[in-house]
Amino acid sequence: MRIVHVVSELVGSQALNFGTTGGLGKVPAGLAAAQARRGDQPVIIIPHHKRFCPDIDGAPKWNVDTRLGPCVLTETRLPVVGVDVPVYLVGNDAYFDRPALYRDKDGDYSDNNVRFAFFCFAALSALRAIGLQPDMVHTHDWQTALIPFLVKQPGNGFPGTATTHTIHNGLFKGEFPRDTLSRIGLSEKLLHPKALEFHGQVSYTQAAIYFADWLTTVSTFYRNTLLTEARGCGLHGAYQHRKNNFTGIVNGLDPSEYNPMFNPYLLSSLRFDPSTVVKNKPLCKAQLQTELELPVDPAVASIGFIGRLSQEKGIHLILAAMGTLMDTTNIQFVALGTGDQHFENALLSLQTKYPDRVRAILKYEEKIAYRLLYPGLDAIIAPSSTEPCGLVHLAAMGHGTIPCVHAIDGLGETVRDWVNSDANGIMFDKFTADALLQAIKRTLTLLSDPAEHHRVQLNGMERDSSWRYPAQRYSEIYEQALENLT
C-alpha cells in the first residue's frame, strides 16, 4: 500500500531531529519504518524547519507552486537501518525558518493558521509534483487537519485516495478567528458546525473529524474519554458523530527506546535483558548515583520523573508528596525536564533542602534519560491529569523500571496494577497528592520485596512495546477506509 504521512514535526532517530517539540515527532517515523518492514511503501512529508534541519547538500529538489505561494521540496531519507522511507521537506523560509516550531516567548505565532494551511496545500501539491498517487494519506494532529477536507474536494487529483487522521492530543484543536477562511482562500460556507465552525471560530481539527475517512487516537481509553462532554474538549459531539469510524491504537517505540539491549547510550557492559536485569540494573543505578553525585547505595530506592514541568503532568502533586516522603522515607528523587518557572524553582528549592537526595535536571536531553534514568531508576512517576498515550512509562518498563501512574488514558491502558497476576506497575485512581503519596508508598513496598519486584519488573520488560502490533492495526484500518470509498 502507498501511504503518505503528513506531520508537522519529525524525529528521524535519536541522533537526527528534523524539528520536534515532543512525542508527536516520534510517531510517524516509527510507524512508517514498521510499515516499510511489512512491505508497504510509506513516505513522510514535513515542513522544512531550517533551524533544526539545515539544507541538505546534493538532495533532489523541486520548485512547487501552491495555492498560498511557492515552496521548495527537498527529498531525503528516514535514517533507519534496513528500511527505505523517503522524507519530503516542504520549504518556505517565511513560514518555517523560525527559532521554534509553533511559538516564541510571547505565545503562539500569530500566523499559525496561515502557516499550516500553507503546509496542507503544499503537501498535496508536493504529491502531484513528484507524481505520487497514494492509497492512504495519514494526517497527524491539527497542523495537518485540513488535508482530509482538501482531498475530498472535486478535482483534487486524488479520487481513489482515503484519509486517516490521528488525534495525538485533543486539547489542541487548531482554533483560529473566523476570518481565517478568507485568509487561506476557502469559502465562508464552511463556517457551519459540521465543517470548520467551532463556537464562532474556525477549528482545523473539526474539519478532519468530519471529513477524514477514519479517525484514530493514541489509546482506546483516550478515545473513549474524547466521546464524553467532560473531556471531549468541546468536540465530543463531533467525535460521537464519527464513533463508528474512530479507533484507539497505543503508539509503539523503536527497540532502541524500550529495549536496554539496544540502548545506544548504554555501555555494552551495562546492557541487560530479562535474564541479566538482576545483575546489571544495579550497576546502572550506581552509575546514575555516581554521575549525579548522589550517595551510592543500592538499598536506597531511586525514583524519578521525566517530562514537562506542568500542572497537567502532575508536578504539583509530586512536590506535595515529596515533602512528606523526604521526611518519612529514605529515597532519592531525580527530575528531568523543563517547564513552568515556579515548578522549576520549587524543584531547585527541594534540591537545596535535600542536597544528598534530590536532583533537579532542568533541561530535556534524551541522552540523559536513556543513559542514566531509564536504566538506573528503580521506579518512575507519571501522575498526569491527561496522557493520551504516554511513552516515558513504556520506555521505563522496558528498562526494568517500575511505573507508578495515574490510571487514566494511555497510562491506564498499558499499566496493570500490582494486585493483578500480570502486573507491571503501580496505579492510583484519584488525581490528588495523597493518592500519589499512597501509590509511591506501595511502590516502595513492592521494591522492598525482591521476588515480587522481579515478577512485576519482568512483566514490564516482556511487554511488546514495538510498532509491530500498531502497524498491523493501522493496516486493517486503512483497508476498511479504502473499502468504504467504494
Q: Same domain for 244 and 344?
A: no
Q: What is the pLDDT of residue 79?
A: 84
pLDDT digits (tens, 9 = 90+) for 68-97: 999 999 999 988 878 999 999 999 999 999
Cell of 406: 495515574
Which helix (H) or strand (E) segment holds residue 167: the answer is strand 162-167
Q: Same domain for 361 and 402?
A: yes
Q: Same domain for 411 and 436?
A: yes
Q: Same domain for 222 and 371?
A: no
Q: Same domain for 166 and 101?
A: yes
Contacts of 313 (CB under 8 A, 6+ apart): 307, 339, 383, 384, 385
Which CATH number covers residue 48?
A: 3.40.50.2000
Of the pLDDT bands very low, low, confident and very high (cuts 50, 70, 90), residue 56 is confident
Distance CA 200, CA 404 (A): 41
Query: What percentage of the chain reaches a pLDDT higher than 90?
Result: 85
Q: Same domain for 110 and 246?
A: yes
User: Please, how many CA atoms are within 13 Å of residue 325, restricted to the half-sphere of its CB?
Assistant: 28
Q: Same domain for 335 and 224?
A: no
Q: What is the pLDDT of residue 23?
A: 75
Identify whether the C-beta of residue 447 lies closer than 8 Å to the C-beta of residue 402: yes
Q: What is the pLDDT of residue 366?
A: 85
Q: Same domain for 481 and 431?
A: no
Contacts of 342 (CB under 8 A, 6+ apart): none
Instruction: Answer positive or negative: Cα dihedral of 20, 25, 30, 35.
Output: negative
Q: Same domain for 227 and 167?
A: yes
Cell of 17: 531531529
Identify whether the C-beta of residue 403 lies closer than 8 Å to the C-beta of residue 366: no
Which helix (H) or strand (E) segment holds residue 108: the answer is strand 107-108
Distance CA 411, CA 415 (A): 6
pLDDT digits (tens, 9 = 90+) for 188-217: 888 888 888 999 999 999 999 999 999 999
Contacts of 315 (CB under 8 A, 6+ apart): 305, 309, 339, 340, 343, 346
> Mean pLDDT lowest for which of 57-61, 89-93, 472-476?
57-61
Q: Same domain for 291 and 375?
A: yes
Average pLDDT, the chain: 94
pLDDT digits (tens, 9 = 90+) for 315-341: 999 999 999 999 999 999 999 999 999
Q: Is residue 441 helix, strand or coil? A: helix
Q: Is residue 440 helix, strand or coil? A: helix
Taking 90 as the threshold, does the pLDDT of residue 278 lie above it? yes
The mean pLDDT value for 340-364 works out to 96
Angle in degrees, 0-180, between the axes of helices 277-291 and 450-461, rounded to the nearest 10 = 90
Q: What is the pLDDT of residue 13?
A: 62
Taking 80 as the threshold, does the pLDDT of residue 14 lie above it? no
Taking 60 as the threshold, does the pLDDT of residue 15 lie above it? no
The mean pLDDT value for 133-145 works out to 97
Angle in degrees, 0-180, between the axes of helices 433-447 and 450-461, rounded to the nearest 10 = 110
Q: What is the pLDDT of residue 156?
A: 85
Q: What is the pLDDT of residue 54?
A: 77
Total of domains in the chain: 2
The mean pLDDT value for 387-398 works out to 96
Q: What is the pLDDT of residue 51?
A: 87
pLDDT digits (tens, 9 = 90+) for 406-424: 999 999 999 999 999 999 9
Q: Return the higher-pLDDT residue of 256 and 423.
A: 423
- Give the domain extent around 135: 2-252+468-485
Q: Same domain for 342 and 397?
A: yes
Q: What is the pLDDT of residue 120?
A: 97
Taking 70 as the threshold, does the pLDDT of residue 19 lie above it? yes
Identify whether the C-beta of residue 145 lies closer than 8 Å to the C-beta of residue 207: yes
Q: Same domain for 215 and 268?
A: no
User: Please, how many CA atoms are within 13 Å of residue 412, restricted to the half-sphere of its CB?
Assistant: 19
Taking 70 as the threshold, does the pLDDT of residue 142 lie above it? yes
